[in-house]
């Protein structure tokens, strides 16, 4: 798992991020960095409850 240091430096998670901010950050993270292939469990559960599709790793 290789970290995209430049992406991480330019895309900090907002402080006290709400659901929409967390979801957007993690979805972009999956697209731009290979240091993780999963969305955190609690966030994924909330996405499922709201009917939001969780992308599968490529």
Domain ranges of the chain: 5-49
- Report yes or no: 50 and 43 within 8 Å, Cβ to Cβ: no
Q: Which residue has the higher pLDDT, 36 or 58?
A: 36
Q: Which residue has the higher pLDDT, 1 or 15?
A: 15
- 6-57 pLDDT, tens per residue? 999 999 999 999 999 999 999 999 999 888 878 999 999 999 999 999 887 6
- Report yes or no: 37 and 57 within 8 Å, Cβ to Cβ: yes
- pLDDT confidence of 58, banded at 50, 70, 90? low
The whole-angstrom separation of Cα 40 and Cα 58 is 17
pTM above 0.95, yes or no: no
């Amino acid at each position: 798992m290789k970290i995209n240091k430049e992406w991480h430096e330019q895309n900090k998670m907002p402080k006290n991020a709400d659901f929409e901010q967390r979801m957007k950050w993690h979805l972009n993270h999956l697209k731009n960095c290979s240091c993780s292939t999963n969305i955190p469990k609690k966030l994924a559960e909330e996405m499922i409850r709201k009917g939001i599709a969780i992308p599968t790793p490529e």
